[in-house]
Structure 1
Amino acid sequence: MPHFVKNLQTVDGLISNLYQDVSIAEMTEQIKQLFEQQGYKVTDQQFGNLLLEHGNRVMRILFGAFVKYYKFSVTMVQSAENELTVNVFQQSSGMSGGLIGMKQIKTELTRLNFLFSNI
């Protein structure tokens, strides 16, 4: 059963979604499973904070837009009304891939918005 309620905000480099009837631990596990299937390396930094990384940063710098590299951070905040706010922040600008790389990051952020709305 999807826990997604609504998208609170989507701006350049930020997605904020609202979920209900799910704890931070459950959401962390669902995000890890989903994004590991998508080829992301998921690092659990602290309780409720994740780092999603896809690709190789050094190769991106060397070969530009020919190599994909994405880095996003996820923060989760539980409210008293059994609701969970999940924020996804863009951590890499794509500048090392030039204009094409910047476009790739925006496209990936749009794709992530869709994935997070299906959790």
Structure 2
Amino acid sequence: MTLFVKNLQTVDGLISNLYKNVSVEEMTKKVTELMEQQGYNVTYDQFGNLILEKGSRIKRLLLGAFVTYYKFSVTITPGADNELTVNIFQQSSGMSGGLIGMNQIKTELARLNFLFSNI
């Protein structure tokens, strides 16, 4: 059973989704498991907030688009009627990889949008 209800907003660098019948703790666990399966290092910033990081920033700076580096933050906010709003923010611009790197970030954000809509 998917918990996903609808996409609230998708703009450059931000995805906002609505979920129903799940607690903040359960959603945090689901997001952590999903992103670790995708190769991300998940760090707990504070309650309901996660930092997702994949790859090496130093290598990205040195070698550009040849090295993968993604960084996103996830905020999970409870709402009314047992609903949650999950926001995924782009934290790295991809500029260190030039135009190719910026395109890689946009592609990864679109892929995350798909993954999060299947939770």
TM category, shorter: over 0.9
1:1-119 maps to which residues of 2 (within 5 A)? 1-119=1-119
Q: Which runs of 5+ in 1 are unaligned?
A: none
Deviation at 1:80, TM superposition (A): 2.3
Amino acid across the alignment from 2:19: Y
Query: RMSD between aligned alpha carbons?
Result: 0.4
- What SS does the corresponding residue of 1:39 show, helix, strand or coil? coil
Letter of the 2:70 counterpart: Y
The percentage of aligned residue pairs carrying the same residue is 74
TM-score after normalising by structure 2: 0.99
Give the aligned length.
Answer: 119
The normalised TM-score by structure 1 is 0.99
Shift in Å, 1:81: 1.1
User: Structure 2: any 5+ residue segments left out of the alignment?
Assistant: none
Per the alignment, in what secondary structure is the counterpart of residue 63 of structure 2? helix
Cα deviations by residue, 1:78-102 (Å, 9 ceiling, x for unpaired): 0121100000000000000000000
Residue 22 of structure 1 aligns to a residue whose secondary structure is: coil
Q: Distance in 2 between matches of 1:71 and 1:83?
A: 26
1:39-61 superposed Cα distances (whole Å, 9 cap, x missing partner): 00000111100000000000000
Q: Is the partner of 2:8 in helix, strand or coil? A: strand
Deviation for aligned residue 1:62: 0.3
What whole-Å deviation, never above 9, does each CA across 1:5-47 have from its counterpart, x for those lacking one? Answer: 0000000000000000000000000000000010000001111
Report the alpha carbon displacement of residue 112 of structure 1 after superposing the two structures with TM: 0.2
Secondary structure of 1:32's aligned partner: helix
Q: Which amino acid aligns with 2:56?
A: N
What is the alpha-carbon distance in structure 2 between the residues aligned to residue 28 and residue 77 of structure 1?
Answer: 11
> Whole-Å Cα distance in 2 between the matches of residues 118 and 28 of structure 1?
15
Tell me which amino acid in the other structure corresponds to 2:67: V
